Amino acid sequence: MRKMIRTGIIGLAAMFALAGCGSGDPLDSGESSATGKGEPIVIGSQDYYSSEIISEVYAQALEAEGYSVDRQFRIGQREVYVPELESGDIDLFPEYTGPLLQYWEPDTEARLSDDVYESLKKAAPDGLRVLEQSPATDQDSYTVTKEFAERWGVETIDDLAKVTEPMTMGANSEAEERPNGPKGLKETYGVDVGFTPIEDSGGPLTVKALNDGSIQLAIIYTADPTIAQNKLVSIKDTEGLFLASHVVPLASDNVDQGAEDVINKVSAAMQPEDLLNMNRRSVADQLPASEIAREWLRKADLG
Amino acid sequence: MSLFLDALQWLAEPTHWSGANGIGTRLGEHVFITLLVVVVAAVIALPVGIAVGHTGRGRTLVVGVLGAARAVPTLGLLTLLGLWLGIGLKAPVIALIILAIPSLLAGAYAGVESANRTVVDAARAVGMSEGQLIRRVELALGAPVIIGGVRAAVLQVIATATLAAYTADVGLGRYLFAGLKTRDYAQMLAGAILVAVLAVLAEILLAMWQRRARRKASPAARERQDSELSGNGSQV
């Protein structure tokens, strides 16, 4: 019994340790710059490398304009950090329109980009506001191999109806019950697929399974550089099964008009390809977020 | 505590017991994987362990390799194997076999080695061949320790076989992952309880087997051995 518990604990610890691994130096994110106007703006980020990069872009853009910032990166999931924003401990946070709207309004009907953004503006509680949404998106998508797409002429999710072979979807186990899994696919598009769990959130095991043909459909983030690297294609979601998910800054009243203008300029300049490129610099080249952010700001002429 | 009650309630729900994702199916899959892994690992580990214990050769090498093998993190190994073999059962089964081998191998060589040397020499003196010596003397005397190795391996495999659900639609680990990701902690705890119950049942069965082997190995010392047994489960 003791042995079993020990094995279990070690297994769990290993799981969390592995899940927590990522690129980027955790020591890099604690510093705050002392110069600038008034109280520092506290910037947070999700525990997701791409979110950390965007936060770092905000931080450096603000610093370039003389604001002082306090970096509180890699905080965790929405359930943890949104209350901190609401209580005023964090001032600025890069968010994603769809998932954030669903956090505040789980039953929202909005799916397409502008609807989601408008609803989000109304859903934000007092003391918090969303700034301009960026063209850059990072959302779940059904992904297939290029070969599969060409063989069956699949460009949109509707086209899956043309596939006569049985298909299996591979994704984290939560997808099995969620609206973006096989159930939602059946309801919204009338397409039947099987399901197999692959618990690496669209990571290398999922890509391998796609390439092996063990699964035909996977749920992978559109801004994931592995899509391009592995000749995969995200198929179009014409019915809005997945919520539009644009990068959008969530700000508290501590973010003044000047800072808002700086961040809005950054959001407007950040294109989907830019986000993809920055993610690639992190995943493929293992560069720290600060360097990736500096590089992009210089290129976009904002740093 | 209420979480624990929720988990029990989850377990009591009849709809959770039937179907392809039902507890019956998942338990069956879990037991099947465990048996498969332990049998394959035993076929690999026991002959090697017995040879090492009997001849005393290669002991340093085996101890060193076992020490290293015990430190291999199974989830890491599973991911690596998965990237090589693809998803499905192959990768978790191989990773679990590698998890089970050290305990089995250590039990085998320690068991054979533990056979009283005077008895072994006496057996040799009465003209037993090396094969007879191993079968009739060393294995018989070492059986309790060897079974101790099996006990340790089975427990580790039952607990860790939950990882099979990382890349396959198999086993009790499905409840753990699904519960964890959807914050359905009642389901997650229910899965953990099922794994624990399965482990305890296996432990009881193997302990009984071990006790029988111990009585057979040294009938004279029955009393002493029995009292020792209670605290001396899977140590090898």
pLDDT tens digit sequence for A93-149 = 999 999 899 889 988 888 889 999 999 999 999 999 999 999 999 988 999 999 999
Contacts of B83 in chain A (CB under 8 A): 204-205, 208
Buried b or exposed e, range B118-131, using 16+ CB within 10 angstroms: eebeebeeeebeee
Q: Of A192-206, B150-164, B199-213, where does mean pLDDT reach its minimum?
A: A192-206
Q: Taking 70 as the threshold, does the pLDDT of residue B103 lie above it?
A: yes
- Does the distance separating the beta carbons of B88 and A7 come in below 8 Å? no
pTM of this structure: 0.74
pLDDT bin (cut points 50, 70, 90) of residue A200 is: confident
Residue range A244-265, pLDDT digits in tens:
999 999 999 999 999 999 999 9
pLDDT bin (cut points 50, 70, 90) of residue A297 is: very high
Q: What is the pLDDT of residue A35?
A: 41
pLDDT bin (cut points 50, 70, 90) of residue A14 is: low
Contacts of A219 in chain B (CB under 8 A): none
Q: What is the pLDDT of residue A258?
A: 94
Instruction: Quote the mean pLDDT of chain B.
Output: 89
pLDDT bin (cut points 50, 70, 90) of residue A31 is: very low
Between CA B204 and CA B215 the distance in angstroms is 17
For A128, the 3-state DSSP assignment is strand
Q: What is the pLDDT of residue A8?
A: 54
* A42 beta partners: A70
Q: What is the pLDDT of residue A37?
A: 54
Q: What is the pLDDT of residue A28?
A: 43
pLDDT bin (cut points 50, 70, 90) of residue B228 is: low
Instruction: Quote the mean pLDDT of chain A.
Output: 87
- State how far the alpha carbon of A118 is from the alpha carbons of A37, A86, A92, A108, A257, in Å: 32, 20, 19, 12, 21
Q: What is the pLDDT of residue A112?
A: 87
ipTM at complex level: 0.75
Contacts of A11 in chain B (CB under 8 A): 74-75, 159-160, 162-163
Q: What is the pLDDT of residue B235?
A: 46
State mean pLDDT over A208-228.
Answer: 92
Q: What is the pLDDT of residue A30?
A: 41
Residue range B9-41, pLDDT digits in tens:
999 999 999 888 899 999 999 999 999 999 999
Q: Taking 80 as the threshold, does the pLDDT of residue A214 lie above it?
A: yes
- Does the distance separating the beta carbons of B162 and A1 come in below 8 Å? no
- Most confident stretch, B52-61, B111-120, B160-169: B160-169
- Does the distance separating the beta carbons of A177 and B199 come in below 8 Å? no
Query: Rg (Cα) of chain A, in Å, rounded?
Result: 20
Q: Taking 60 as the threshold, does the pLDDT of residue A231 lie above it?
A: yes
Between residues 189 and 228 of chain B, which touch chain A (CB distance below 8 Å)? 192, 195-196, 199-200, 203
Question: Nearest by CB to B86, which of A14, A176, A212?
Answer: A212
Q: What is the pLDDT of residue A87?
A: 92
Between residues 19 and 38 of chain A, which touch chain B (CB distance below 8 Å)? none
Buried b or exposed e, range B192-229, using 16+ CB within 10 angstroms: bbbbbebbeebbeebbeebbebbeebeeeeeeebeeee
Between residues 163 and 192 of chain B, which touch chain A (CB distance below 8 Å)? 163, 165-169, 174, 177-178, 181-182, 192
Q: What does DSSP assign to residue A181?
A: S
- State how far the alpha carbon of B192 is from the alpha carbons of A3, A125, B158, in Å: 15, 39, 11
Q: What is the pLDDT of residue A180?
A: 83
Does A122 reach chain B within 8 Å, measured CB to CB? no
Candidates A264, A251, A265, A248; CA nearest to A42 is A251
- State how far the alpha carbon of A161 is from the alpha carbons of A147, A154, A156, A191, in Å: 17, 9, 10, 6
| pLDDT more than 70, % of chain A | 87
Q: Where are the alpha helices (DSSP H) in A155-288?
A: 182-189, 204-212, 226-229, 257-269, 272-283
Question: Nearest by CB to B181, which of A15, A174, A196?
Answer: A174
Between CA B181 and CA A118 the distance in angstroms is 29
Q: Taking 60 as the threshold, does the pLDDT of residue A13 lie above it?
A: no
Pick the residue with more confidence: A8 or B48? B48
- Nearest chain B Cα to A21, which residue? B76
